[in-house]
Amino acid sequence: MGAHEIQAKSILIKRKYIDSWFVSRYGMNLYRGCQHNCAYCDGRAEGYYVDGEFGRDVCVKVNAPEILRRELDPARRRKPLKGGYFLLGGGVGDSYQRLEETYYLSRQALEILAEFGYPVQVLTKSTLVRRDLDLLQRINRQSRAIVCFSLSSVDERISRIYEPGVPSPGERLEILKLFKIHGIPTALFLLPVIPFISDTEELLERALQAAAETEVDYLIFGGMTLKEGRQSSYFLNTLSRHQPEFVREYREIYRGERWGQASGEYYRRLHSRFWRIMRGESGSGGPSNGGSTGGIRGAGTFRIPLRMPPELFGDLLDDKDRIVVILDQMDYLFQLRGKASAYGSAARAVARWDGPLSDLIKPGIRIRGISGKAAAVIGEILECGTAREYERLLRYSMGVSSELPHSAQDPS
């Protein structure tokens, strides 16, 4: 295993627009490369420029704490940083991979974020994050912290094949429980579900049940991308060795799309399956409909928010970013139901907007990308921080309410 110590020039990754999944504009990669070596990892793709053999060679940014302190120190900044979470994780290497036991870069980054009072979100697959429980509790008390774990399946055998370097799904869920018990909000990223392997109705139900039992604050769900080149050939090689019967299906759904997306038809089926299970409408699910899988909860009882709930971000964002996140969440929840929505284009239009926010809702003015309904939602958010349509949609998507949002009939 090669650890290559390097000197980084900068650490903080800044996004031009807020990311509504993470409610974040800032992130960092303290390691380049990942010992976890998940077969589906897109960090392996050429576009990420991770040198050497992925899974073995990892660049360690040993001067990261020093650079990060300089970049974050409010006294050295001309403009204050924007609100939202600082993301530790994701990208091209898990921040709690085994090298962290030696280098303590994540711990030091958290100490700096705590010192300057920034909110933090950790996304990992490693139980090593338990080491920093005390620090994350302190951050949560002063500025908010969230701990998120990702898994592609709750099935131990599937995980051993496709996520060979990480603790089992059961161990990851146990650590999520531990953080929750210690008062830190948690999330499960059921991401990526592996086509034809962990995207089955039974495994999705089991994952949702595990998430509900772990009492996560929200769940992020998503399919897998497979970019042509190193990522695709590594994954298909693993697939051929363990489950060759699916190779043909993969060739059918992954057709060289630039970003590695599967066919739209596949994602539509996946989202519709997930939505039905989430709402207890799957037909094979709970005791309420005589399902076959036994022990799975009944209709609408998972009750897990499918995006970060507003109580975890409402007070962190300025008006513009709050509007963007809410509109984007609404768009996602409509798409999950297989409905087109104009809220996504409105979110993008607001993100790009440089003028006063009140101009977005001025009577008689139509701004490209912002429909009348979206403008009404924006007006409500500006007035009271949220919108009734958004709240209705959240309740409906969690199965708490059967009342369909008004715009579900005509979301334009």
Residue 378: both structure tokens together: 């924006």
Q: How is residue 317 annotated by DSSP? A: S
Check residue 223 for interaction with ligand SF4 (CB under 6 A): no
Which is closer to ligand SF4, CB of 235 or CB of 343? 235
> Do residues 28 and 112 touch, judged by C-beta distance below 8 A?
no
| Least gap, CB of 96 to ligand SF4 (angstroms) | 9
Q: Distance between CA atoms of 368 and 343, rounded to whole angstroms?
A: 12
State in angstroms the smallest separation of the CB of 29 from ligand SF4: 9
Total residues interacting with ligand SF4, rule: CB under 6 A: 9
Nearer to ligand SF4, 41 or 88 (CB): 41
Regarding 260 and contact with ligand SF4 (CB under 6 A), the answer is no
CA angle 3, 8, 11 (to 5 degrees): 110
Kindly report the number of other CB atoms within 10 A of residue 367's CB atom.
18
Do residues 367 and 353 touch, judged by C-beta distance below 8 A?
yes
**In the complex, minimum distance from the CB of residue 41 to ligand SF4, in angstroms, rounded to a whole number:** 3
Complex with ligand SF4: residue 43 or 405, whichever CB lies closer: 43
Distance of alpha carbon 267 from its chain centroid, rounded? Answer: 17
Contacts of 64 (CB under 8 A, 6+ apart): 8, 11, 28, 30, 105, 108, 109
Which 15-74 positions form the footprint of ligand SF4 (CB under 6 A)?
34, 36-38, 41, 43
Q: What are phi and psi of 77, to 5 degrees?
A: -100, 140
β-pair partners for 120: 86, 145
Cβ at position 94, least distance to ligand SF4 in Å = 4
Paired with 295 in beta bridges are none
| 7 and 34 Cβ atoms separated by less than 8 Å | no
CB closer to ligand SF4 out of 55 and 291: 55
Nearer to ligand SF4, 38 or 122 (CB): 38
- Of 40 and 179, the one with the shorter C-beta distance to ligand SF4 is 40
**Shortest distance (Å) from residue 93 CB to ligand SF4:** 5
SS (H, E, C) 352-381: HCCCCHHHHHCCCCCCCCCCHHHHHHHHHH
Angle at 390 between CA 384 and CA 394, to 5 degrees: 125
Interface with ligand SF4 (CB under 6 A), residue from 27, 65, 93, 223: 93
CB of 46 to ligand SF4, least distance (A): 15
176 touches ligand SF4 (CB under 6 A): no
Nearer to ligand SF4, 41 or 387 (CB): 41
SS3 28: strand
Which CB atom, from 37 or from 301, has the smaller least distance to ligand SF4? 37
CB of 150 to ligand SF4, least distance (A): 7
- Give the x/- contact pattern for ligand SF4 in 261-290, rule: CB under 6 A: ------------------------------
Distance CA 100, CA 135 (A): 16
Give the strand order in the sheet containing 2-6.
2-6, 57-61, 31-32
Q: Which is nearer to ligand SF4, 171 or 403 (CB)?
A: 171
Alpha helix segments (H runs only) across 279-355: 319-336, 343-352
Q: Which two tokens stand for residue 110?
A: 């958290």
Whole-number Å distance between alpha carbons of 283 and 292: 9
94 lies in the binding site for ligand SF4 (CB under 6 A): yes
Distance in Å, CB of 30 to ligand SF4, minimum: 12
Distance CA 402, CA 204 (A): 22
CB of 149 to ligand SF4, least distance (A): 10
Please, what is the minimum distance in Å from the beta carbon of residue 393 to ligand SF4? 30
Q: Which is nearer to ligand SF4, 20 or 37 (CB)?
A: 37
Residue 125 in the binding site for ligand SF4 (CB under 6 A): yes
Residues that bind ligand SF4 (CB under 6 A): 34, 36-38, 41, 43, 93-94, 125
